[in-house]
Amino acid sequence: MTYTVQVKVMPLKDLLDPQGKAVMGGLQNLGLKDITDVRIGKHIDLQIEASNEEEALASATAAAKKLLANPVMEIFDVTIN
Amino acid sequence: MTYTVQVKVMPLKDLLDPQGKAVMGGLQNLGLKDITDVRIGKHIDLQIEASNEEEALASATAAAKKLLANPVMEIFDVTIN
Q: What is the pLDDT of residues A13-71, one digit of tens each?
A: 999 999 999 999 999 999 999 999 999 999 999 999 999 999 999 999 999 999 999 99
pLDDT band at A81 (very low <50, low <70, confident <90, very high): confident
Domain boundaries, chain B: 2-80
Calculate how close chain A gets to B5, using CA atoms only, in Å: 10
Three-state SS at A61: helix
Taking contacts as CB-CB distances below 8 angstroms, the residues of chain B near A30 are 63, 66-67
- Strand B35-49 and strand A35-49: the pairing is antiparallel
Mean pLDDT of B43-71: 96
Closest chain B residue to A10, measured at CA: B43
Q: How far apart are CA B79 and CA B81, in angstroms?
A: 7
In a mutational test of the A interface, the residue from B44, B51, B70 whose CB has the highest number of chain A CBs within 10 Å is B44
Which residues face B48 on adjacent strands?
A: A35, B3
Positive or negative: CA dihedral B78, B79, B80, B81: negative
Q: Do B38 and A45 touch (CB under 8 A)?
A: yes
Cα Rg of chain A, angstroms? 16
Quick one: which H or E segment has residue B7?
strand B2-11
Give Dmax over CA atoms of chain B in angstroms.
50
Phi, psi of A42 (to 5 degrees): -110, 150
Using CB atoms, pick whichever of B8, B23, B49 lies closest to residue A34.
B49
Question: In terms of residues, how long is chain A?
Answer: 81
Whether A49 and chain B come into contact, CB under 8 Å, resolves to yes
Q: Do A68 and B9 touch (CB under 8 A)?
A: no
Model pTM score: 0.92
Q: How far apart are CA A20 and CA A41, in angstroms?
A: 9
pLDDT at position A15 is 93
Q: Do B42 and A43 touch (CB under 8 A)?
A: yes
Q: Do B43 and A40 touch (CB under 8 A)?
A: yes
The domain B2-80 belongs to what CATH superfamily? Phosphoribosylformylglycinamidine synthase subunit PurS (3.30.1280.10)
ipTM greater than cut 0.85: yes
